[in-house]
Amino acid sequence: MCGIVGYIGEKEKKKIILKGLKELEYRGYDSAGMAILKGNDITHFKAVGKLKNLEEKTKNFTSEGFGLAIGHTRWATHGKPNEINAHPHLGEYSYVIHNGIIENHQELKNELQEKGFSFLSQTDSEVIVHLFEMFIKEGFGAFEAFEKTVKKLQGAYAILLISKVDKEKIFFAKNLVPLIVGKSSENEIFFSSSDAPLIGYAQDVVYLHDKTYGYAQKGEINIYENSVLQKPKFKKLSISKLSAQKEGFRFFMEKEIYEQSAVASETLMGRVQKNRVILDDIDDSFFNEINEIKICACGTSYHAALASSYLFERVSKIKCSVEIASEFRYKEPLLKNDTLFIVISQSGETADTLQALKMAKKAGLKTLAVCNVDNSSIVRISDEILLTRAGIEKGVASTKAFTTQFIVLWMLALKLGELKGNLGQNIVESEIETLLKVPAVLKVDEKIHEKIRRLSKRYLHGHGFFFIGRDLFFPLALEGALKLKEISYLHAEGYPAGEMKHGPIALADSELFTVALMPKTMLYDKVKSNVEELSARDATILALSPLEFDIADDFIKTKGYDHPMLEFFEMSVIVQLLALEISVRLGNDVDMPRNLAKSVTVE
Ligand code: AGP
């Protein structure tokens, strides 16, 4: 996720902006920039990579005395991470920084280009500054021009804009993406994407609501909603920086589980319309002559791959195989060039996955990466990319990356099904309708979380866990087991529920904990009988299901969504929280579990 900071006041502005951006580094970024307006001078700097590159570029610049300043760290969603695409984006006399995704940016860009505006970057954000200057050219005042600009935008945005047409004001707008405005006892104004950069500067802050916009000037904040001036509701700012970065959660992993609903909206943003999926700028022709899909990944990404293979065969009607990258590398695989080779990686740097990708490219296959980091090695060498847009994932145990990978793969399955003529329009529309419910499904139910926190005390010992499920829920069982293993250090295995009687049931006794995924929309009766077999041998059962199941020792009642994919996402949050709460009770380092790294860049 991008980071935004802004300042109005007398202090030296470069330092304040750099310091603020540093506090936002935890959000992840691949480029950064700032713009400073003082008197009639407007200066800007941009740099790719880490903030130290921006510091280097601005080392001979200072800006004392009253002025305005805005700063931005970019996590690429549209357009490569390079200097041109870094924010701020320039007009003739105005600068804008933006976090989020402007869904209708292409249509606005076409409109502006027809009116003679030229664009430098590949980003969606640049339309904002040209739109603003278009309204100025039409004779509107600065605030009216900004208000008209905001009203034309669709999608998610946190915007700061400064312009020579009004040297006293920073214009702002907020929808679906956080933006905080604060003031100090010296009448300075501060903006930020989160609390951390404001701590030690602003005392009173306003957490802007969706669809609000306005302007700030020395000691004054004017917030509008539907053209009506609002009375700002100030709050006292929290004082702990680290908890600010975790935004009040105990661990980054917990924060990232709670973020899944919001980031899922970004993953979907601009990619689905009522009756079709738009896969960014991947031309449909890329999928011509593709008759098979092979997916390669590791760990959690492998589980997302395995789950998506059910969709590619059932929905797209395309043969799909899934490989663990470290195995694939040495098995002398038979590769055909009508196979689309997909790699899935949160980091984009996993050595085995990267090498597997190179093997596929060498064999002449078309390659596509589903990845969360734009300027990563895997992204750089893949033919096409679909970014998961999950924002930085700091917890070593992957959560939001997994769910956003699966959302992207679901969209890809729908796209391929449609392109291959294997999916009727009505099915596509109903699947998209379901897809758009996922962000709400991913919203953590606090009551469920509290129940998991309470029952986790019963699962701190024993000689192991089985996570069992069928069909899509088998890869989810694997993922639930991996989550538990990697942060609780308890032994857990994911198993197809139907496999129990082929050996594993020999382990069944009261000290064997079975987490049974029992969705009502997928083979419920089959799973139920498998669980009954385990229960009859005294295994301790924790059942996740919308249907009452009285032989379970513990039972988490799910909401009973009428689509397996929605039941999948709901249960994925539950198994993530279960692993988290057991690990917390065991006193483990949830975010940095022993022996693990966030990205396995070696074999
Ligand atoms: C997931 O919780 C683990 N941290 C690990 O299995 C991870 O998924 C695996 O190393 C693959 O990483 P990648 O997605 O960055 O390629």
Matching CATH number, 3-245, of 1.10.8.60, 3.40.50.720, 3.60.20.10, 3.40.630.30: 3.60.20.10
Q: What's the confidence (pLDDT) of residue 244?
A: 66
The pLDDT of residue 540: 94
pLDDT value of position 240: 66
pTM summary value: 0.80
Low-confidence ranges of the chain (pLDDT < 70): 1, 78, 238-244
In DSSP terms, 466 is beta-bridged to 493, 514
The residues spanned by each domain of the chain are: 3-245, 254-438, 444-586
Name residues whose C-beta falls within 8 Å of residue 226's C-beta, 6 or more positions apart in sequence: 211
Q: How far is the CA of 491 from the centre of ligand 1 (A)?
A: 18
Separation of alpha carbons 303 and 395, rounded Å: 18
Q: Is 504 left (phi over 0), alpha (psi -120 to 50) or beta?
A: alpha
Q: Compute the distance from residue 396 Cα to the ligand 1 centre, in Å.
A: 8
Q: How far is the CA of 495 from the centre of ligand 1 (A)?
A: 19
- On whether the CB atoms of residues 269 and 280 are closer than 8 A, the answer is no
pLDDT of the residue at 159: 98
Query: Which residue numbers are catalytic?
Result: 2, 598
254-438 and 444-586 have identical folds: yes
Cα distance from N-terminal residue to C-terminal residue, the chain: 29
- Give the C-alpha separation, 552 to 530, whole Å: 12
Instruction: Give the residue, by CA position, lying nearest to ligand 1 atom 16.
Output: 345
Alpha carbon of 348 to ligand 1 centroid (Å): 10
Q: Do residues 191 and 213 make contact, with C-beta atoms less than 8 angstroms apart?
A: no
513 DSSP β-pair partners? 465, 540
Q: Please give the Cα distance from 349 to 358 (Å, whole number).
A: 13
| CATH code of the domain made up of 254-438 | 3.40.50.10490
Phi, psi of 452 (to 5 degrees): -65, -40
151: nearest Cα among 187, 185, 113, 102:
102
* Nearest Cα residue to 509 out of 482, 536, 483: 536
Find, among 580, 490, 25, 472, the residue nearest to 256 by Cα: 580
Binding pocket residue ranges, ligand 1, CB within 6 Å: 298-301, 345-347, 350, 353, 396-398, 486, 599-600
For residue 19, the SS3 value is helix
CB 125 within 8 A of CB 270: no
Ligand 1: residue of 344, 600, 603 to mutate (most ligand atoms within 8 A of CB) is: 600
Task: Tell which one of 302, 346, 595 to mutate to probe ligand 1, the residue whose CB is within 8 A of the most ligand atoms.
Answer: 346
H helices present in 11-64, as ranges = 13-23, 51-57
Pocket test for ligand 1, best of 350, 373, 382, 583 (most atoms within 8 A of CB): 350
- State the average pLDDT for the chain: 93
Domain 444-586, CATH: 3.40.50.10490
Ligand 1 center–CA 304 separation, angstroms: 11
DSSP secondary structure of 231-291: PP--EEPP--HHHHHTTT-SSHHHHHHHHHHHHHHHHHTTTEETTEE--TT--GGGGTT--
Ligand 1 atom with the smallest distance to the CA of 405 is 14
* 8 Å CB contact between 61 and 230: no
Distance CA 537, CA 392 (A): 44
- Determine the length of the chain: 603
For the sheet with 366-371, list strands across it: 319-324, 292-297, 339-345, 366-371, 384-387
